[in-house]
Amino acid sequence: MNRVAFVFTRGPHGSSAGREGLDAALATAALSDQVGLFFIGDGVLQLMMNQQPDAILSRHYAATFGVLALYDIEHCYLCLDSLKTRGLAAEQSRILDVELVAAAALRQKLAQYDRILTF
């Protein structure tokens, strides 16, 4: 079975890319043995605590990250360099447990997947 990576590169609100990527990952996990989530660039903002999308009349879908374990999605990676670029601390709490990885190591992990979908 193919290993499928989902790469989140956009912020959580202002477009539907994050929500659509998460929905696609859950649907794919039902059919694939291994799904990985990668948060790169503005995608690192997807996992910030205390988001308030109501202020911009957007749907709050962050709670959906909590069901990843039910779909056996266990490989989740967050780009440490992207955090630093945005002035975010590596030690802060997030809505999902992720492995913090430097950009070079993240590329190596991503290369292990057969298919890569970017949102």
> Domain total for the chain?
1
Q: Is 4 exposed, middle or buried (0-12, 13-18, 19+ CB in 10 A)?
A: buried
What whole-number distance in Å separates Cα of residue 37 and Cα of residue 27?
13
Q: Kindly report the number of other CB atoms within 10 A of residue 39's CB atom.
A: 26
Instruction: Indicate yes or no: pTM above 0.75.
Output: yes
Could you list the residue range(s) of the whole structural domain that residue 85 is in?
3-118
Task: Give the neighbor-by-neighbor strand order of the sheet with 34-39.
Answer: 99-101, 75-79, 34-39, 3-8, 115-118
CATH of the domain at 67: 3.40.1260.10
Residue range 78-106, pLDDT digits in tens: 999 999 999 888 888 888 889 999 999 99
